[in-house]
Amino acid sequence: MGQELTGNLLVAQSGGPTPVINASLAGVITEALQYEDNIVEIYGGLNGIQGILNEQLIDLAAESQQTVRALNHTPGAALGTCRYKMKKQQDFDRVLDVFAAHDIRYFLYIGGNDSQDTAAKINALAIERGYDLRVIGVPKTIDNDLPVTDHCPGYGSVIKHIATTVREMSLDNAAMGQHDFVSILEVMGRNAGWIAAGSVLAKRRNFQLEDAPHIVLLPEERFNQQAFVDAVQNVLRKQKHCFVVASEGLLDADGNFLGADASRPDAFGHAVLGGVGEYLRTVVEENLAGVKARSAKLGISQRAASHNGSLADVEEAFLAGKAAVQAAVAGETGKMVVLVREERENKDQYAVTTDLAPLEEIANNVKPFPASWIGEDKMSVGFQFTKYAQPLIQGELPLSYENGLPKYAQLSAERIERKLDAYDTSK
Amino acid sequence: MGQELTGNLLVAQSGGPTPVINASLAGVITEALQYEDNIVEIYGGLNGIQGILNEQLIDLAAESQQTVRALNHTPGAALGTCRYKMKKQQDFDRVLDVFAAHDIRYFLYIGGNDSQDTAAKINALAIERGYDLRVIGVPKTIDNDLPVTDHCPGYGSVIKHIATTVREMSLDNAAMGQHDFVSILEVMGRNAGWIAAGSVLAKRRNFQLEDAPHIVLLPEERFNQQAFVDAVQNVLRKQKHCFVVASEGLLDADGNFLGADASRPDAFGHAVLGGVGEYLRTVVEENLAGVKARSAKLGISQRAASHNGSLADVEEAFLAGKAAVQAAVAGETGKMVVLVREERENKDQYAVTTDLAPLEEIANNVKPFPASWIGEDKMSVGFQFTKYAQPLIQGELPLSYENGLPKYAQLSAERIERKLDAYDTSK
């Protein structure tokens, strides 16, 4: 238990949105209201660290209870996020200036690897300067590739939607009947195959070979065209259609992204991906005479499909937000909340608690998909994965609809008055 | 009222599946059970006309009540469909042979334009041969392009899912904040812009310019690259992101499909479409410096998303199935059920009844998207469309879930014994 600290709390969101990043925000707001003695004001920073640099803060305590509740099933990121990479010392100094100007003593950052790296550096600088600050990270990434934590909030909802989509598409494929048909679904996952692997939950029971998906291509295994073509042919010998799920991060034998546009790296230097599905469609049609293939690419919709979110995921995202506030108030800093799967006597029972891990341990590390969970054919995943992932997609959040569409939260976003001069992030 | 006719009923499904083609099947089965004096057995033909030629019939009365109820929210086509085009007289003769062998006196065909053409020809041949048969079509197409009927079962669910997806993706786009970003969603619609137009229901209120989608490209208007680039730029001047919905059937100035692979026509001679989204992404990035674009393509998932279906659509699809049985028993033949929008004094009230239209009037005709509903900029649709389409997406069907995923119906499909020699459709 650290010393008592009284001041304002600032929460911000960073990186790509997830279906439940706003549920974590709701958890933070709800819990922060419980600590009146420590937390005076609850501020939100717009567009992650970039908005903080620009002193764009809003008053989250002013939001209605209804809005906070609706955050649990609202896609996007209600505060806005950024992919701005802080590099200059000047940026870090500015963050602490903004914090000091607004008496920010609790900083909660909801984000993935890069974001927790930023949080770690802010924490280190605050310690160096003797500025009393508690920095706690809240895990967030659909990629499920943060280390230490059993899994990441956002992942369960994304694979629930992808598995639903595979099951629905495969019913359509099966209906079309008579001809050799290959359906290819390209999903996200730049470095790790967690998302593509999640598609196997579409199988009715574990390892029903006849159920889609029949082939799952993970970025952990280099693409072998001949083996792939053979595998498709093998499936088509037994089934009328073949369902392939491919990760956007698939690499060829030389380690280049399949169908990627390497000429346009993003702000973090990652290559822009996106063409795997169409690439594989061409491979199938050019190598298997008379076989028809079609590809689909859910794109951003797969990480925004809150209408089909996992209740377990929403609840854990909320829990992680709450736990971050509790940890900060208890005196912790420089840590990220992690999810811990409880061992139960009844092994079918699933329960999660939270713990903390040092931000440095999280920052810029990637948790690979376990090699032992990949099938010998290198195009399937084993029962260990199914056992791991199935609890993460359980339950459905009741949605409110308006005029035929899900009703999503929108913050009223009351601005906090600026206290500093403007800051130019481009300098 | 025609003469009393007693015999067996055969129902089949044809063409591309829709989220509610099985709801029409449920309507047929449910209603057929009410006419014991006329309808002796209720058969399903597997894989449309192709299964009928091959005498692949199943006993639908043997299916459980639970299964029939679950058909209302099951994607795909439970009986299977086909795209087989009957051309030879021999095929038509064979259909009547199969009908005679199994005493089929009621033939209900759930399908789109091509399918109703087939139904019309079977009806004409039966009359010519003096074989007492009642043929009634049940409308089905996500394309919403059948003539006479106010709209087509399947359409409402597809645009509900697309509008939901646009709203969700645009929340994600908005969250990403600071930079010029263009999101492109490619949707189905080969000849008519009904599906792409449906995306405008994502706007919170009619014609909120700031709401996605900002640009809607229909196949009715030839693609004008300069006008498109200007429009994107115009949106990006006012909004941080621009959302474009594009129909797969988009044509260039010369009348060629944008991004299509014309070298591989399907069984009906239609070109295989699919590259519009990526094409437009390239156009944006090559013509607007510093602007980032991403495309997504829902592909087959958009017509299989029964987990997000429209209750109004499900109910009307069921109603159309019921009405087809009623019409056939009442002595009608050579007609298709059409949906009629009732004029109500309170114009906000929406109600639908059914009527009949001659199959010939339906067959091979296409209902174009009304030119007067397209905006002057040729990249938007007017309030007349919103007024027309909004009632079609209302309501949500309660789904049952199993192990985290929607639970869909699977027919037990008890086969009817063959009575004829095998038939070779390839000859």
pLDDT digits (tens, 9 = 90+) for A360-417: 999 877 899 999 999 999 999 999 999 999 999 999 999 999 999 999 999 999 999 9
Q: How far is A7 from chain B (nearest CA, A)?
A: 28
Strand order in the sheet with A352-358: A57-59, A39-45, A7-13, A104-111, A134-139, A335-341, A352-358
Question: Residue A64 burial by CB count (10 A; 0-12/13-18/19+): exposed, middle or buried?
Answer: exposed
Detail the DSSP E strand segments found in B239-285: 241-247
Q: In angstroms, what separates the C-alpha of A327 from chain B's closest C-alpha?
A: 27
**For residues A394 and B403, is the Cβ–Cβ distance under 8 A?**
yes
- Comparing CB atoms, the residue among A84, A296, A390 nearest residue B404 is A390
Q: What's the rounded Cα separation, in Å, for the pair A101 and A63?
A: 23
* Banded pLDDT at B210 (limits 50, 70, 90): confident
- Residue A300 to residue B264, Cβ atoms within 8 A: no
pLDDT tier at A77, thresholds 50, 70, 90:
very high
Q: Distance from B17 to chain A by nearest Cα, in Å?
A: 6
- Mean pLDDT for all residues in chain B: 92
CB contact under 8 A, A307 and B164: yes
Tell me which amino acid residue A137 is: G
What is the model's pLDDT at position B2? 54
With the C-alpha atoms ordered B276, B282, B288, B292, is the resulting torsion angle positive or negative?
Answer: positive
A 10 A CB-CB count for B372 gives 8
Does the pLDDT value for residue A32 go beyond 90? Answer: yes
Across the interface, do B308 and A310 touch by the CB < 8 Å criterion? no
CB contact under 8 A, A17 and B176: yes
Q: Is the per-residue pLDDT at A269 higher than 60?
A: no
- Angstrom distance (rounded) from CA B215 to CA B45: 43
Q: Residue B394: its chain A contacts at CB < 8 A?
A: 403-404
Q: CA B256, CA B262: separation in Å to the nearest integer?
A: 9
Residues of A in contact with B175 (CB under 8 A): 13, 17, 76-78, 80-81
Q: Is B143 a catalytic residue?
A: yes
- Residue B1: pLDDT band (50, 70, 90) is very low
Beta strand pairing call for A335-341 and A292-297: unpaired
Q: Alpha helix locations (H) across B239-389?
A: 276-287, 311-329, 359-362, 383-389
Three-state DSSP class for residue B33 = coil
Element (H, E) at A339: strand A335-341
Displacement of CA B269 from its chain's centroid (Å): 19
Q: How do strand B405-406 and strand B401-402 relate by DSSP bridges?
A: antiparallel
Over 80: is that where the pLDDT of B426 sits?
Answer: no
Tokens of A113: 């690897």
Side-chain-facing half-sphere of A218: CA atoms under 13 Å: 26
Nearest to A405 among B76, B167, B305 (CB): B167
Predicted pLDDT of residue A196: 98
Is the predicted pLDDT of residue A206 greater than 90, yes or no?
no
What end-to-end distance do the CA atoms of chain A give, in Å? 41
CB pair distance less than 8 Å for B172 and A303? yes
* Cα–Cα separations (whole angstroms), residue A212 to A216, A382, B282, B304: 10, 15, 32, 15
| Closest-CA residue of chain B to A293 | B272
CA A326, A327, A330, A331 dihedral sign is negative
- Closest Cα in chain A, distance from residue B43 (Å): 17
CA distance B395 to chain A (A): 6
Which positions in chain B touch A183 (Cβ < 8 Å)? 300
Of A77, A405, A406, the CB nearest to B175: A77
Q: Give the span between the Cα atoms of B395 and B376, in whole angstroms.
A: 32
ipTM of the shown complex: 0.95
Whether A168 and B310 lie within 8 Å, measured CB to CB: no
**Contact between B394 and A403 using a beta-carbon 8 Å cutoff:** yes
Residues contacting B163, CB < 8 A, separation 6+: A404, A405, B198, B199, B200, B201, B202, B393
Is the Cβ pair A174, B76 closer than 8 Å? yes
Q: Which residues of A touch B410 (CB under 8 A)?
A: none
* CA-closest candidate to residue A24, choices A359, A313, A304, A303: A313
Contacts of B299 in chain A (CB under 8 A): 169, 185, 294-297
Query: Cα separation of A317 and B217, whole Å?
Result: 38
Average pLDDT taken over every residue of chain A: 92
> Is A113 exposed, middle or buried (CB count within 10 Å of its CB: 0-12, 13-18, 19+)?
buried
Tell me the backbone φ, ψ of residue B43, rounded to 5 degrees: -105, 150
What's the pLDDT at A418? 97
pLDDT of residue A274 exceeding 60: no
What do you get for the CA distance between the two ends of chain B, in Å?
A: 41
Of A177, A303, A306, the CB nearest to B47: A177
Q: For residue range B347-363, list pLDDT tens digits in order.
A: 678 999 999 999 999 98
Are A306 and B74 inside 8 Å of each other by CB?
Answer: no
For residue B13, give the chain A residue with the closest CA: A175
* Residues in B touching A409 (Cβ below 8 Å): none
Taking only the tens place, the pLDDT of each residue in A135-148 is 999 999 999 999 99
Measured between beta carbons, which residues in chain A are less than 8 angstroms from residue B305? 165, 168
Which stretch of A37-46, A418-427, B221-230 has the lowest confidence by average pLDDT?
A418-427
In whole angstroms, give the CA distance from residue B139 to residue B153. 7
d(CA A98, CA A173): 56
The residue type found at B277 is: G
Of B78, B81, B168, the CB nearest to A176: B81
Q: Does the beta-carbon distance from A174 to B278 stay under 8 Å? A: no
What are the CA-CA distances from residue A265 to residues A82, A166, A270, A323 (Å)? Answer: 16, 30, 5, 36
Q: Do B78 and A168 touch (CB under 8 A)?
A: no
Q: Please report residues of A whose CB lies closer than 8 A to that of B173.
A: 76, 300
Q: What is the pLDDT of residue A262?
A: 46
Q: Are A186 and A295 in contact (CB under 8 A)?
A: yes
Q: Which residue has the tokens 């059970």?
A: B33
Minimal Cβ distance to A75: which of B171, B308, B394: B171
Is pLDDT at A1 greater than 50 in this prediction? no
Chain B hits for A83, Cβ within 8 Å: 176
Look at A175 and B77 and tell me if their CB atoms are within 8 Å.
yes
Long-range contacts of B420-426 (CB under 8 A, 24+ apart): B420/B55, B420/B97, B420/B98, B420/B101, B422/B54, B423/B53, B423/B54, B423/B55, B423/B94, B425/B50, B425/B53, B425/B54, B425/B84, B425/B91
The whole-angstrom distance between A405's CA and the closest CA on chain B is 6
Question: Where in B149-203 does DSSP place strands (E)?
Answer: 181-187
Residue matched to tokens 């057995």: B41
CB A294 to CB B296 under 8 A?
no
Strand order in the sheet with B241-247: A215-217, A241-247, A181-187, A292-297, B292-297, B181-187, B241-247, B215-217
Q: Which residue has the tokens 């114009």?
A: B347
The structure tokens 């991403």 sit at B294
Chain A residue with CA closest to B14: the answer is A176
pLDDT band at A270 (very low <50, low <70, confident <90, very high): low
Give residue-wise pLDDT tens across range A149-195.
999 999 999 999 999 999 999 999 999 875 789 999 999 998 899 99
Distance (Å, whole) CA A396 – CA A72: 12
Q: What percent of chain A has pLDDT over 70?
A: 94
For residue B78, list chain A residues with Cβ-Cβ distance below 8 A: 175
Q: What are phi and psi for residue A88, nearest 5 degrees? A: -80, 145
CA distance A348 to A357: 27
Q: What secondary structure letter does DSSP report for B207?
A: T
CB contact set of A150 (below 8 Å; sequence gap of 6+): A338, A339, A340, A341, A352
The closest CB to that of B300, out of A76, A296, A301, belongs to A296
- Residue from B114, B143, B180, B211 carrying the catalytic annotation: B143
Nearest to A404 among B79, B278, B310 (CB): B310
pLDDT over 60 (residue A264):
no
- For B148-188, the pLDDT digits (tens) are 999 999 999 999 999 999 999 999 999 987 578 999 999 99
Choice among A143, A145, A180, A313 that is catalytic: A143
Chain A residue numbers with beta carbons less than 8 Å from the beta carbon of B201 are 404-405
Size of interface A-B (CB pairs under 8 A): 201
Test mutation, A47, A79, A161, A172, chain B, max B CBs within 10 A:
A172
Tell me how close the Cα of A56 comes to any Cα of chain B, in angstroms.
13
Give B262's pLDDT tier (boundaries 50, 70, 90). Answer: very low
Residue B270 has pLDDT above 60, yes or no: no
- Which residue is associated with the tokens 């359509």? A172
Beta bridge partners of B293: B182
Mark yes or no for CB contact A299/B303 under 8 Å: no
Is residue B296 within 8 A of residue B184, CB to CB? The reply is yes
